[in-house]
Amino acid sequence: MRQRTQDRALRERASKALPNGVYGHESTALLPDTYPQFFKRAEGAYLWDADDNKYLDFMCAYGPNLLGYGDKRVDEAATAQLALGNAMTGPPPLMIDLAEAFIDMISHADWAMFCKNGTDATTMARTIARAETGKRVILVAEGAYHGAAPWCTPVRAGTLPEDRAFIQTCTYNDVASLEAAVAEAGDDLAGIFAAPFKHDAFIDQALPDPAYAKRARELCDETGAMLIVDDIRAGFRLTRDCSWELVGVRPDLSTWGKCFANGHPISAVLGSERCREGAGAIYATGSFWFAGVPMAAALETLRIIRETDYLEHQIALGEHLRAGLETVAEAEGVSLRQTGPAQMPQILFEDDQDFRKGFAWTSAMLDHGVYMHPWHNMFICAAMTEADIDMTVEAARVCFAQVQADAEKLEPHPVVSAMFGARAAE
């Protein structure tokens, strides 16, 4: 096993200086104990942990790394703007260049607003839908992640039932449940949120059923509600437009974040004429929302998205990985469930209710210098190469064999097995 001395010492300090250590999605609390928590450096497709172990990184910072860590083109644009000014008393002119460039790329969009995190964007889209319609109910799919604000956080500690009053749920890809939820909202429906595809943690991913997407559009047209596609995770990883262009459906609002400035902090709400007035009516702002550096990084990232084959490269690598893993898994007698778009892989094991096989396999992969995730979707970045994928597949073969050999001895993760224990007992 790899050395974790520095990481252990940092965790010890973190447990005192931070409440319960590192919080949120980058906490390793729900990962095997072998996972490093702290990283010193990242470059291209690679990460170095606090003990200088190097990993090929299939998490891509949980989404922001699209082109490779430290992409020179993007970071030079950011540095040039930093020399001019970052957070100033008003935005730089390039805010308009960025809005124009973004609107030009996204078919449904006529205007853009920028913020910092995905949660800012989804919360703002929710507020715009209500301001535009004068109605209250927001429909979301059960289990979908739209951010960490009280109205949408998956963990209820510190929130009130009232925070989620008027947030109703339906089942993704289930037209009947969508229709029933819309009927229940009566004439009080403000908006329908939709992930571009089902990419919830712990379960198989599912592509959108075009019938579901089309029905959501129709129901919004019939009721006057706003259709909102939350493209924060999948945006520019499926296509160079809003992801639901792939199923022929145009939303009124879309939310963007994570990767469109290749790791620089910026997110966005894009909207159509249908909700321009609502967007103009709300009070939306933040101390850093008008900072120029992330805008310069975003403008350059959008140029690279338009002008290079980064996307086709990611899809080809994702398909290469999926096929390679399928072959070696079969050879080693392992049944995998690989779901969703190949460039955003979710890799789960059959008959692995409490994820012990997945945990054993991804832990073994870490020892081979590959950082994968046992229950969250992963990402391919454009800095990866075919040789990286071949190395991954070869490591996977060795690690599948190891999991099979150890099958009887695998231990459940204490927290995760408690979460899924009931399911496992069914």
Ligand X SMILES: *Cc1c(COP(=O)(O)O)cnc(C)c1O
Q: Which residues here bind ligand X, judged by CB under 6 A? A: 117-119, 122, 145-148, 195, 230, 232-233, 257
| CA dist., res. 210 & res. 222, Å (int) | 18
Task: Decide whether 145 or 400 has the Cβ nearer to ligand X.
Answer: 145
Which residues partner with 285 through β-bridges? none
Which secondary-structure segment (H or E) carries 56?
strand 54-57
| CA dist., res. 417 & res. 39, Å (int) | 27
Q: Quote the least distance from Cβ 124 to ligand X, whole Å.
A: 11
Coil, strand or helix: which one is 147?
coil
Task: Tell me how crowded residue 130 is: count the other CB atoms within 10 A of its CB.
Answer: 19
Which residue's C-beta sits nearest to ligand X? 118
Residue 286 — φ and ψ, nearest 5°?
Answer: -170, 150
Task: Decide whether 267 or 272 has the Cβ nearer to ligand X.
Answer: 267
CA angle 341, 347, 348 (to 5 degrees): 135
The owner of tokens 């030079």 is 76
How far CA 70 is from CA of 11, 121, 365, in Å, comes to 26, 25, 24
**Tokens read off for 21:** 């250590």
Q: Is the dihedral of CA 249, 252, 255, 260 positive or negative?
A: positive
Task: Decide whether 230 or 252 has the Cβ nearer to ligand X.
Answer: 230
Task: Decide whether 56 or 268 has the Cβ nearer to ligand X.
Answer: 268
Q: Quote the least distance from Cβ 258 to ligand X, whole Å.
A: 6
Coil, strand or helix: which one is 312?
helix
Sheet containing strand 267-271, strands side by side: 111-115, 267-271, 253-256, 226-230, 189-194, 137-141, 167-170
Q: Quote the least distance from Cβ 136 to ligand X, whole Å.
A: 21
Task: Decide whether 112 or 195 has the Cβ nearer to ligand X.
Answer: 195
Q: Quote the least distance from Cβ 174 to ligand X, whole Å.
A: 19
Task: Decide whether 119 or 133 has the Cβ nearer to ligand X.
Answer: 119
Task: Decide whether 68 or 118 has the Cβ nearer to ligand X.
Answer: 118
CB 209 within 8 A of CB 244: no
Task: Decide whether 170 or 360 has the Cβ nearer to ligand X.
Answer: 170
Q: Quote the least distance from Cβ 386 to ligand X, whole Å.
A: 28
Which residues partner with 338 through β-bridges? 347
Q: Quote the least distance from Cβ 256 to ligand X, whole Å.
A: 10
**Tokens read off for 133:** 């319609």
Bridge pairing between strands 189-194 and 226-230 = parallel
Q: Quote the least distance from Cβ 205 to ligand X, whole Å.
A: 12
Q: Quote the least distance from Cβ 36 to ligand X, whole Å.
A: 21
Q: Quote the least distance from Cβ 328 to ligand X, whole Å.
A: 30
Which secondary-structure segment (H or E) carries 254?
strand 253-256
Q: Quote the least distance from Cβ 239 to ligand X, whole Å.
A: 16
Chain length of the chain:
426
Task: Decide whether 374 or 395 has the Cβ nearer to ligand X.
Answer: 374
| CA dist., res. 369 & res. 57, Å (int) | 9
Task: Decide whether 258 or 397 has the Cβ nearer to ligand X.
Answer: 258
Which secondary-structure segment (H or E) carries 29?
none
Residue 374 — φ and ψ, nearest 5°?
Answer: -80, -15
